[in-house]
A and B are shown apart, each in its own frame.
Chain A
Amino acid sequence: MAWRQASIVGVGATRQGKLPDETPLSLAAQAFCLALEDCGIDKGEVDGLLTMPGTTSPEGAKNYLNVGELVGVNPRFTGSLTMGGATGGALVQIAAMAIATGMAKTVACIFADTARTGGSRFAAAAGGDDSWGVWGMFGNAANSAMGFRRHMALYGSRSEHLGWIAVTCRKHAAMNPNAVMRDPITLDDHQNSRLIVDPLRLLDCCLISDGAVCVIVTSPERARDCRKRPVAIWGMGQGHTTENLRLREWWYLPHQRDCVADAYRMAGVSPKDISVAQLYDNFTVAVLFWLEHAGFCAEGEGGAFVEGGARITLGGSLPINTAGGNLSESYMQGWLHIVEGVRQLRGECGERQVADAELCLVTGRGMTLNTASCLILGH
Chain B
Amino acid sequence: MNDKPKAASIRPTINDVNRPFWDGCGRGHLLVQRCSHCGRLRYPAALVCPNCLASEAQWQPMSGRGQVFSFVVFHRAYHPAWEGKVPYTVALIELDEGPVMLSNVVGVDPAKLAVGLPVAVAFEAVDDSLSIPVFKPAG
Which residues from chain A sit less than 8 Å from chain B, CB to CB? 123, 125, 127, 129-139, 142, 145-147, 149-150, 153-154, 194-200, 243, 245-246, 248, 251
Contact = CB atoms under 8 A, between A and B. Distances in A.
Interface string B69-82: 11111111011011
Contacts of B42: 246
A142 B90 contact: yes
B70 A147 contact: yes
Contacts of B103: 135
Interface string B99-139: 11111100000100011100000000000000010100000
A116 B65 CA distance: 44
Nearest to A248: B100
Contacts of B101: 245
B43 A246 contact: yes
Contacts, number: 112
> Which of A130, A132, A196, A251 has the largest count of B CB atoms less than 10 A from its CB?
A130
A246 B98 CA distance: 10
17 contacts: A127-B44, A133-B7, A134-B10, A135-B103, A136-B90, A136-B104, A138-B79, A139-B78, A145-B72, A153-B116, A198-B72, A198-B73, A199-B72, A243-B50, A246-B99, A251-B69, A251-B92
B7 A197 contact: no
Contacts of A133: 7, 10, 79, 81
B110 A198 contact: yes
A136 B88 contact: yes
B10 A198 contact: no
Contacts of A248: 94, 100
A122 B45 CA distance: 26
Given A129-B15, A147-B70, A153 B114 contact: yes
Given A136-B79, A149-B71, A131 B13 contact: yes
A245 B13 CA distance: 17
B102 to A, nearest CB: 6
The 4 closest A-B pairs by CB, nearest first: A138-B78, A131-B12, A153-B115, A198-B73
> Which of A196, A198, A243 has the largest count of B CB atoms less than 10 A from its CB?
A198
Contacts of B74: 136, 138, 142, 197-198
A135 B50 contact: no
A130 B78 contact: no
Contacts of B72: 142, 145-146, 149, 197-200
A123 B44 contact: no
> Which of A139, A149, A150, A194 has the largest count of B CB atoms less than 10 A from its CB?
A149
Contact of A150 (B5, B11, B99, B115): B115
Interface of B: 5, 7, 10-13, 15, 18, 42-44, 50, 69-76, 78-79, 81-82, 85, 87-88, 90, 92, 94, 99-104, 110, 114-116, 132, 134
A127 B101 CA distance: 12
Contacts of A134: 7, 10-12, 132
B86 to A, nearest CB: 9
Given A134-B12, A150-B69, A198-B87, 7 more contacts: A127-B44, A130-B44, A131-B12, A133-B7, A136-B88, A137-B102, A245-B99
A135 B87 contact: no
A194 B75 contact: yes
Given A146-B72, A198-B75, A130 B102 contact: yes
Nearest to A200: B72
Nearest to A143: B72
Contacts of A130: 44, 102
A149 B116 CA distance: 12
Contacts of A243: 50
Contacts of B70: 146-147, 149-150, 153, 251
A182 B10 CA distance: 40
A195 B81 CA distance: 20
Nearest to A136: B82
Contacts of B79: 123, 125, 133, 136, 138
Nearest to B5: A136
Contact of A127 (B18, B94, B102, B110): B102
B100 to A, nearest CB: 5
A147 B13 CA distance: 26
> Which of A135, A197, A243 has the largest count of B CB atoms less than 10 A from its CB?
A135
Contacts of A146: 70-72, 90, 92
Nearest to B22: A131
Contacts of A246: 42-44, 50, 99-100
B112 to A, nearest CB: 13
Contacts of A138: 74, 78-79, 82
Contacts of A200: 72
Contacts of A127: 44, 102
